[in-house]
Chains A and B, each alone.
Chain A
């Protein structure tokens, strides 16, 4: 067994040991044990993934572990990347969870499930056969479902969210199962190596792709299969939200990339159909737009972050779709660039979403609410959490010097330079894609200015926010680790790009190591390692230099102002039009902040507002009370899922007539079913 194999085994062993030990130790130290065990397993797992990305491949067959097929595991650079990301997120979430669990989450089930959840997510990208993948996938679904339901006793919404999640994740599993089973049947074997060599007829190949795409896309929270995501992610405990939103959704992306670009390779010799990847591109574009629009008008902090996950997965899918599309058009360099952009965005999104969900969890922990409309004033009360959330928000809004900017820049570069190579379909799709990326970036700015500016700055809008205190050190530590990852990825993306290029090489073998952004010498020695150069494309950008220049300019200006201007600051009253101090309720809220955007996108969002004026009894002109009620429904959900749910409901109500409580009738049902089955078996040869 070589380096990645040993490390992965150790990580899985640590998870298992933690899960077994956690229920046995007293509740007082259980969160610490579970958190530290998870963090250690995550660190070892990240090292395993890193080793795989560095080029050490590993594979193993354990025939006795599962009946019939056994367990097949393998780590290549692509799987290694997703293992590494999961490990990194698990480190932050484990450390954070130690403090967060004091909030009444130190129960046996929750603390034992957490390491198992991490283990399942380490296994999914390492699976090398259909049965192993499906077992790991189902383990991931069940453990995450248990964790989502952790707080079901406290809020009624948790139960509903869990139900949605359970149903949708299993429908997704069925789709994946059907697709991969079809592929395995065509390949006469279920190991990934056999699948790669299979030659499926075009129709079966398309069916396999569509089924697996639907299943994996629902895990990634892609519109219109996103309905579970903005329910389940906010209702889970916050470190679980971070794990789900930063690590679990990536598995959907992994699945689409693995099946579409790798496993169907043999079946699509001579080129996969371009419409597959245009479909992926379109699904990504719709998700990016719809996700960020819903996030922009959401006043619930964690729901906002959940929709932002849908947006970011949409961007990743746009990169993936563009990569597949370019590959079919014979532009391997562009394909490699788009794929690097997509994978880098997966890493970046994992870093900042971990940070943001944990910071949101700290706010929830300190104030008991996620409603931005009643928050505010946390800058003075929770200074570290505020600063850390600011770092995450900067990254999420794709502004320099945040890390989100780097991957969106790469994505835009790959889209912009593709026109000559991509034919008429590309000429129509790619400018629209650039517009979608740009608009989603712009709306992301608005979203996170709202989340940070309204949630953390100014004065508290409620007594709960006023009483907030800073989180315990372990929670700050978890957030700090994630913030460090964000900063490292923002300033030195060139460091991990070689590993990404290797992952790309496993998917696009024709386009291997010479492509993708590589760092190369430019005009001076200092520029060599910090500038992103695109091979084959004249485009350069240096995140480190930009950040340094902005900091230098700010310091220069601060010095100049200090020298030129008057010293000392006088504290003064806010401008209140001379009517006396303003109350905190006069501030803009998240709802009012998003109102212009809501109005601009009226036709898409269809907000529902209801104003109810109660006049006094003496006169219709004297108002006693005004109630204002506003709701921005998820329209896709309502249109698409509403009728289906109503139909299921109707069928259920009809079926109720079958069960009238008479035991005789039930016995008759059993008898006739059995007889019918026997007849059927007798007739069928």
Chain B
């Protein structure tokens, strides 16, 4: 048992290190793909890391009249991203922390990070900060039902909401991925992943146009190391959510309990490949799409909620038929 625990621990540490180091590279890869497809040369895959290094060296500034919520926000955002990276089964399902948090808890932890950032934005007392915070929590409130109902659909087949259990069940019976419930849940979760990470068509991460921005409006007052933390945390959240989509719906390669070092290595490689592929897919999609008007976003999210409800219905009637 202790050997099991050990390998699980090693896999978890590897997974966290991988997310820490790989998240900026994923963002760099996505930007590079976009640049090439738009006919630009692009800055290269490691550019986000160079940006982070530059930001870390800058002198931190603190806007007048801001306090602890402003200063704490980047740390909470990055801290929750780190915890989520340790809990979700990206490389291995045998994480010793798996029993501490299930998919509900992971969702809530990510929301906690967003809330901290929204409060940081409000604390500045600028119109931009308030606007970004208001829009962020609106999207957050509408995303929540979809996530939880999709979780419902997925947990029906596993009998548990713990992520490790869901991935294990899927890995044992890969054809379940093609069931209508799973496919509908996959689409619903993909839409909310896009919304949560602020990608096109919900938000444009590279815009600074005041009428459209959500995330960037909140972080406008941050600079230097604080901004570096926020940029890194955004990348890490994207990585973790894409990795989670990969693990839930393409679970091949994820190491399970009781397997050796080789399985963990395969898990690492599979995670890197799956996440990169999903990232590239997302980037390609973004090239062909425009950002939605802010008040069209609820329609998109309502659509995804409907898909999630259908997924539950499908899983029930399939379970009833079997």
Contact = CB atoms under 8 A, between A and B. Distances in A.
B100 A445 contact: no
Nearest to B134: A593
Given A379-B67, A416-B161, A546 B101 contact: yes
A549 B96 contact: no
B140 A445 contact: yes
Nearest to A436: B145
Given A545-B97, A554-B79, A564-B56, A400 B112 contact: yes
A552 B322 CA distance: 46
Interface in B74-99: 75-76, 78-80, 82-83, 86-87, 96-97, 99
B61 A588 contact: no
Given A379-B69, A449-B118, A538-B159, A399 B100 contact: no
Given A435-B149, A446-B138, A566 B105 contact: no
A453 B118 contact: yes
A542 B78 contact: no
A420 B80 CA distance: 34
Interface stretch (B218-226, B263-271, B280-288): B218-226
Contacts of B96: 523-524
B140 A442 contact: yes
Contacts of A575: 63, 126, 128, 220-221
Nearest to B81: A553
Interface in A441-468: 441-443, 445-446, 449-450, 452-454, 457-459
A186 to B, nearest CB: 39
A408 to B, nearest CB: 8
A458 B124 contact: yes
Contact of B295 (A397, A443, A454, A599): A599
Interface string A420-452: 100000010001101111110111011001101
A539 B127 contact: no
Given A379-B69, A588-B134, A446 B140 contact: yes
A523 B99 contact: yes
A417 B57 contact: no
Interface string A573-593: 111100000101011100011
A566 B56 CA distance: 7
A558 B128 contact: no
A121 to B, nearest CB: 32
A452 B83 CA distance: 25
Contact of A445 (B101, B111, B165, B309): B111
Given A379-B69, A405-B108, A427-B316, A554 B76 contact: yes
A36 interface: no
Contacts of B129: 458, 588
B295 A549 contact: no
A426 to B, nearest CB: 9
Interface string A375-417: 0110110000000000000000111100001000100110111
A561 interface: yes
B122 A570 contact: no
Question: Is chain A's binding surface mostly helix, strand, loop or mixed?
Answer: helix
A671 to B, nearest CB: 66
Interface residues of A, number: 87
A58 B27 CA distance: 65
Contact of A438 (B99, B122, B145, B156): B145
B58 interface: yes
Contacts of A377: 65
A550 B109 contact: yes
Contacts of A66: none
Interface string A518-558: 00001110010001000001111110011001110110111
B125 interface: yes
A584 to B, nearest CB: 7
Contacts of B319: 419-420
A540 B221 CA distance: 40
Contacts of B102: 539-541
B159 A417 contact: yes
Contacts of A546: 83, 100-101, 105, 109
B148 interface: yes
B160 interface: yes
A656 interface: no
A181 B63 CA distance: 66
B78 A557 contact: yes
B138 A541 contact: no
B62 A588 contact: no
Size bracket, chain B contacts:
35 or more
B140 A439 contact: no
Contact of A541 (B1, B61, B80, B104): B104
A588 B131 contact: yes
Q: Please indicate which of the listed interface residues B76, B108, B224 has the most CB atoms of chain A within 10 Å of its own CB.
A: B108
Q: Please indicate which of the listed interface residues B134, B141, B149 has the most CB atoms of chain A within 10 Å of its own CB.
A: B141
B177 interface: no
B5 interface: yes
B318 to A, nearest CB: 11
A48 B73 CA distance: 43
B99 A527 contact: yes
A531 B220 contact: no
B152 interface: yes
A571 interface: yes
Contact of B123 (A398, A443, A457, A592): A457
A458 B82 contact: no
A542 to B, nearest CB: 4
A531 B102 CA distance: 12
B312 interface: yes
Contacts of A550: 76, 79-80, 83, 109, 112
B151 interface: yes
Interface string B309-322: 10011011101100
Contacts of B135: 596
A248 to B, nearest CB: 29
Contact of A437 (B64, B83, B111, B148): B148
Given A458-B122, A572-B61, A572-B62, A596 B145 contact: no
B62 A458 contact: no
B18 interface: no
Nearest to B68: A379
Interface in B202-231: 220-221, 224-225, 228-229
B133 interface: yes
A473 B165 CA distance: 50
A640 interface: no
B173 interface: no
A153 interface: no
Nearest to A439: B145
Contact of B75 (A435, A558, A592): A558
Given A458-B129, A561-B225, A572-B63, 17 more contacts: A398-B108, A416-B156, A435-B145, A438-B148, A439-B142, A442-B144, A445-B144, A459-B65, A537-B160, A540-B99, A549-B87, A549-B97, A550-B76, A553-B82, A564-B56, A572-B64, A588-B131
Interface of B: 1, 5, 56-65, 67-69, 75-76, 78-80, 82-83, 86-87, 96-97, 99-102, 104-105, 108-109, 111-112, 115, 118-119, 122-131, 133-135, 137-138, 140-145, 147-149, 151-152, 155-156, 159-162, 165, 220-221, 224-225, 228-229, 294-295, 298, 305, 309, 312-313, 315-317, 319-320
20 contacts: A296-B141, A379-B69, A399-B111, A400-B112, A405-B105, A412-B161, A419-B156, A434-B145, A439-B145, A454-B122, A457-B69, A457-B119, A539-B161, A541-B105, A546-B101, A549-B100, A570-B62, A573-B64, A588-B130, A596-B138
Q: Please list the 8 inter-chain residue pairs (A to B) with the smallest Cβ-Cβ separation, ordered nearest first.
A: A588-B130, A458-B125, A442-B144, A453-B122, A442-B141, A565-B225, A538-B160, A553-B79
